[in-house]
Amino acid sequence: MKTIAPMEAYLAPNEWIESAHPDVQRTAQGFDSPEAVYRFVRDTVRHSYDIRATEVTATASEVLAAGYGICYAKAHLLAAILRAMGIPSGLAYQRLVLFDDPKDGHSLHAVNTIYLTEARRWIRIDARGNKPGVNAQYSVNKEMLAFPIRPELGEMDYPWNFDTPPAPIRDFYALQGSISDLYARCLPGSLEINDDTNS
């Protein structure tokens, strides 16, 4: 996995990953392990698409207040709580078939990264939220994400570990409309090589 920023950036707050926000700080005090935080975001914070939510949530505090968000937003919240606990965390992305049919194109899916200090390595975890056919788990030895990659369908794991959302994700949130409309029509489909920075 390729980190694109100094380690300090994966501990610092930003406008999306609001680890210094009072509500995030209070929430972080209720957890004693990264796995507990993961289970909270995966199981308690609902995925917007699963519950047909309409309000757009993007920042960690928005997701925490609303109790739901799409994968990008849930990843922002998980990273924020972990950083508030002093645990380095970032964002990684997959390119997946949209709605299970290659004819519908592809979309970016967000997962989180966590730095394991004792092991001196990063792992990826996916707090999208489980449902029939989706069984993501917290694991330090065997990666268990929500969606296994199918290269024959043009799917891929991007190698970059971002400290803040890259341009395609920020551009997505700049659009107007309900989350259901944006989810159906406007999800970013790829990360280009020149998106290998946060600029």
Mean pLDDT of 61-78: 97
Contacts of 117-125 with C-beta under 8 Å, sequence gap 24+, read 122/1, 122/3, 122/90, 122/161, 124/1, 124/92, 125/38, 125/78
Answer whether residue 13 shows pLDDT above 90: yes
**Residue 199: per-residue pLDDT:** 44
Judged against a pLDDT cut of 80, whether residue 9 lies above it is answered with: yes
Binning pLDDT at 50, 70 and 90, where does residue 165 land?
very high
| Helix and strand counts by DSSP (H, E) for the chain | 7, 8
Stretch 61-86: mean pLDDT: 98
Beta strand pairing status for 46-47 and 68-69? parallel
pLDDT of residue 194: 61
Looking at the chain, the whole-number percentage of residues with pLDDT higher than 70 is 96
Question: Is residue 126 scored above 70 in pLDDT?
Answer: yes
| pLDDT tens digits for range 37-68 | 999 999 999 999 889 898 999 999 999 999 99
Contacts 24+ apart (CB under 8 A), 87-90: 87/11, 87/34, 87/114, 87/115, 88/7, 88/10, 88/11, 88/114, 88/115, 89/10, 89/17, 89/113, 89/114, 89/115, 90/3, 90/10, 90/122, 90/161, 90/162, 90/163
Q: Give the DSSP H/E element, type plus range, for residue 67.
A: none
C-beta separation of 115 from 10 below 8 A: yes
pLDDT at 73 over 60: yes
User: Per mean pLDDT, which range of 21-30, 68-77, 147-156, 178-187 is the poorest?
Assistant: 178-187
- Contact criterion met (CB below 8 Å) for 152 and 101: no
Q: 183 pLDDT exceeds 80? A: no
Q: Please report which confidence band the pLDDT of residue 140 belongs to, taking 50, 70 and 90 as the band edges.
A: very high
The two tokens of residue 14 are 């930003």
- CATH, range 2-134+153-191: 3.10.620.30
Which range, of 72-86, 89-103, 109-123, averages the lowest pLDDT?
89-103
